[in-house]
Structure 1
């Protein structure tokens, strides 16, 4: 079984959204884009324990917090999940609710025409829904899951019960929140799931533990004083109540109910520290390191997958507090043991483990969630994909906005200039990172256009900065990105050297000379405090050419004042910031994507 499609309406930050999922997938995008919301939505439909929590939903689970319309009618949260690849047992169990999914057209067939159901790419599917709303009579929030097909004559649907959900085998792991209770026996914990899979042992454990605890003496030694106090309490109470109603008060470790034990029982693990007597010191498992706990979660997942076939795992950020090689093991281990594995991640080491078609890039605009599966980036061959995605493309895939720089020098220089301006004027300028912009090195001006098309296809807001172009090349760039910025000089080094004030050029040159870093083969051009400006620029041009790709242009911009910095660079950064954060947009609750409303596709010439 695997989840093929999910529709979400009016849930948290998503007013409306439809996402198609491949066999395995990693959901990527900027923070607060909707990655965790999608997994939470699936959990509301398929999670066996999800509806047992109180409350099932609350006010903040509704889009913009609106759960009642102007007429006083409830505004429901609606979620629908389509699952395919059913096992024989699942198909037999759900036979009265099956529909048919066309893998080529990626939709459900209208009705069950027999001539189409035998086609190879048409398979049985199960459509399941969740509806949550505010109950005005009970003054409470309610939620239920149901089979979306068939619809009864009165418009209702059969209930999708907890036993049905367990047969689907969905398990949602919120990494930061799951580790602290993974080895507890709370309902829905990993250890509880494993115990449920051993049906014959589930009942016996509680009876055995309860019997032991009933007989366990607690503070019964008179020297401790507890028994004397309790007896005094008994004597005092008997002044007001019959003697047979209150007797023999004593201490126990808990309420001695199953629910109390679920909250109390904790697995202890050795910490690697020895006591004075040489024995191991053990502590509750949640006191272990975060990386150890998360690795422990992986081990429990392996047990669950071995005990229960056809499992769908959904996992948030498996990289947290875990080194790269373990991240890879988690991804490979979970994926190999599951019918479907769904992840959210910000890690390049996680992303490189997935082929492009399994990277699902999310974008949200005015509550509308869209998703697109990635493809191989331009000019990147499959053999070089892993290295390239980690080095060049990962940050851009995870961001909402992308700035394409023409080469390595520009890739280093633009963020350095933005950081310098922010350092000098923190209230006026933002860093590139603070604006949510990821920079990508195009390596050459001819790659700006294909990269612009690629990231635009993924739903990113795309900026490009480049030097003077020919008419044909400029037209191609303008059509591929939303916000192109063209300089009026050819060569970024010329933009920097001709646009930077003389004072900054001399300061930078003398730092290199005084630091003993001026190259010996350029000794004839070594600058001095009296070198004419034209000669100084030529000397630094030679130096930049020799040190190309070493970030020296960025170092120069990093020592400039705003007035010393090239106007093209300052004005371009101002323009980008105004596009992302228009001066009039003072309401911080507005989605940043909504602010990007300036005209697109026309080159900004500064």
Structure 2
């Protein structure tokens, strides 16, 4: 089973949107783009526990909070989902509601001729939906999930898509914080409850537990004083109402019902601590660390996957409080055990586990949400992407801004200068990370324009920095990328060496020699205290050119004062800062 398409109208921050999904997807985008809203929308349609809740939606679930139009007529939340790759059981169960989906055109066929359904690209599909609106008569919000095909012959309405139907679909939404807090309780819809239902286990504990709780004596000793007070209450009651209904007031441990007992029964786990009496101390599972709870949730998820085949898992931010290697293990485990896995994430380690075509980059403008597959960057071959480019590309997908550098020296230099300037002048400068900038090394001036175009298509704000270009290449770059910064000379190592102060170069060169790091092939040109300035610049230029890729430019610039740094780099950093984080203007106070 696989969700192929999701359409959303008027739900939370999404006025309208349509997303096409593949077998596995990770949704990325800025905060409040709508990643979690999409998963919540799917859960409104497919979540079997939703219909058992008293309040499924409220005023805040409508786009802009508007549940009535200008004429006071109800506005509807609408969600539609197309499901394909049904297994045999699902195919039989939903047979009368099945339609046909073309995997090439990504559309449902309207009354297709028989020969259309024989095409390899056409597969059976289930189309289901959700509607929610305000009911004036009941002064409440009403919701319905339904099959979109066919219309009932009896009443001309769409047939209800019930909780029992949803359980056949097998959708499970793991909310990072909320799922973990009740994973091992017996509350309806908890992971432990789902496992018991899948095992067809009917608990027989309720009556015994409640009965035993009511037998527990509480404060029955007269010396405690409670009994006398309750007797006085009874006497006072009888002065007003002389009947036996107010006889024998006493305390009991609990007035719990089955449902309240479900909510409070909790699994305790060993904390590793030893109590004073020598026993091992246990505590409710939700008192464990966040990372432990998340891993516990995933362990339960594995059990569910093994019990129920063809399940769809949706999960918010699997990286929270979990180290990178565990994040990767989690993603691999969930994908292997599910028919479809959908994630939201802000972690490059999570994104690295997906092919670019499976990374869905979200962008929302004026309430309309758009999603596009990342795809391979145009200048990067798949093999190079897997071996070198992958992490940097994933970081760029998670950033608001992308700075493309022509080569490795610029790639090292600019974050080092920004970091040093922030250390020296924190009120004036920020690090590139703090500005939300990810850096991509184009490795050649001929690749800058193509990479810039690619990231612009993913709705990223793109900047580029490079050395002096030939007119034709410069025109191509500037026509593609809106914010470009061109150095005054060819070769960025020269930009650094010719623009940096003599004192900084001399300090750097002498430290390399004293630390034994000066290369042997340049031993006859080793820096020394009285080396002439021009000779010093020439030998440091040879060193930076030789050590390109080792971060030498960052080491040099990271120990400079602002006045010692190359003017071009400082001015470029300043312009980028103003461009992304403009200074706030202070309005003149009124007198």
TM-score when scaled to structure 1? 0.86
Alignment of 1:178 with 2:186, yes or no, is no
Alignment of 1:401 with 2:401, yes or no, is yes
Length, aligned pairs only: 586
Q: What is the deviation of 1:13?
A: 2.7
Alignment of 1:436 with 2:421, yes or no, is no
User: Structure 1 residues 232 and 553, CA, compared in 2 at 3 Å: closer, same or farther?
Assistant: farther
Contact 2:319 2:327 (C-alpha < 8 Å) held by counterparts = yes
Unpaired runs of at least 5, structure 2: 587-591
Per-residue CA shift, 1:326-363, capped at 9, x if unaligned? 32332232222222111122333322332333222222
Per-residue CA shift, 1:157-213, capped at 9, x if unaligned? 3322222222211110011221111011222211122233344514x2333433333
Q: What is the deviation of 1:152?
A: 6.4
User: Structure 1 residues 152 and 472, CA, compared in 2 at 3 Å: closer, same or farther?
Assistant: farther
Q: What is the deviation of 1:98?
A: 2.1
1:205 corresponds to which residue? 205
Structure 2: distance between partners of 1:354 and 1:220: 65
Q: What is the deviation of 1:106?
A: 1.1
1:241 corresponds to which residue? 241
Q: What is the deviation of 1:544?
A: 2.2
User: Structure 1 residues 231 and 312, CA, compared in 2 at 3 Å: closer, same or farther?
Assistant: farther
User: Structure 1 residues 205 and 555, CA, compared in 2 at 3 Å: closer, same or farther?
Assistant: same
Contact 2:349 2:391 (C-alpha < 8 Å) held by counterparts = no
Contact 1:134 1:142 (C-alpha < 8 Å) held by counterparts = yes
2:133 corresponds to which residue? 133
Structure 1: distance between partners of 2:196 and 2:232: 43
Contact 1:363 1:400 (C-alpha < 8 Å) held by counterparts = no
User: Structure 1 residues 261 and 422, CA, compared in 2 at 3 Å: closer, same or farther?
Assistant: same
Structure 1: distance between partners of 2:416 and 2:136: 56
2:484 corresponds to which residue? 484
Structure 1: distance between partners of 2:399 and 2:326: 25
User: Structure 1 residues 502 and 4, CA, compared in 2 at 3 Å: closer, same or farther?
Assistant: same
Structure 2: distance between partners of 1:319 and 1:25: 15
User: Structure 1 residues 225 and 291, CA, compared in 2 at 3 Å: closer, same or farther?
Assistant: farther
1:193 corresponds to which residue? 194
Q: What is the deviation of 1:103?
A: 0.7
User: Structure 1 residues 227 and 67, CA, compared in 2 at 3 Å: closer, same or farther?
Assistant: same
1:593 corresponds to which residue? none
Contact 2:378 2:450 (C-alpha < 8 Å) held by counterparts = yes
Structure 1: distance between partners of 2:389 and 2:192: 36
Structure 1: distance between partners of 2:159 and 2:35: 30
Alignment of 1:162 with 2:163, yes or no, is yes
Contact 1:101 1:123 (C-alpha < 8 Å) held by counterparts = yes
Structure 2: distance between partners of 1:478 and 1:84: 45
Structure 1: distance between partners of 2:475 and 2:206: 73
Structure 2: distance between partners of 1:236 and 1:160: 56
Q: What is the deviation of 1:117?
A: 1.9
Per-residue CA shift, 1:39-65, capped at 9, x if unaligned? 111111111222444542334333333
Give the SS at the match of 1:201: coil
1:455 corresponds to which residue? 455
Give the SS at the match of 1:271: strand
Structure 1: distance between partners of 2:506 and 2:72: 71
| Superposition map of 1:98-117 within 5 A | 98-117=98-117
Give the SS at the match of 1:149: strand
Q: What is the deviation of 1:4?
A: 0.6
Per-residue CA shift, 1:261-311, capped at 9, x if unaligned? 122211111222333444332111111222221121112112222332321
Q: What is the deviation of 1:116?
A: 1.5
| Superposition map of 1:486-501 within 5 A | 486-501=486-501
1:336 corresponds to which residue? 336
RMSD of aligned C-alpha atoms? 3.3
Give the SS at the match of 2:149: coil
Stretch of structure 1 that moved more, 217-226 or 464-473: 217-226
1:369 corresponds to which residue? 369
Q: What is the deviation of 1:506?
A: 5.4
User: Structure 1 residues 188 and 31, CA, compared in 2 at 3 Å: closer, same or farther?
Assistant: same
Structure 1: distance between partners of 2:264 and 2:256: 10
Q: What is the deviation of 1:324?
A: 3.3
TM-score when scaled to structure 2? 0.88
Q: What is the deviation of 1:445?
A: 3.1
Unpaired runs of at least 5, structure 1: 587-606
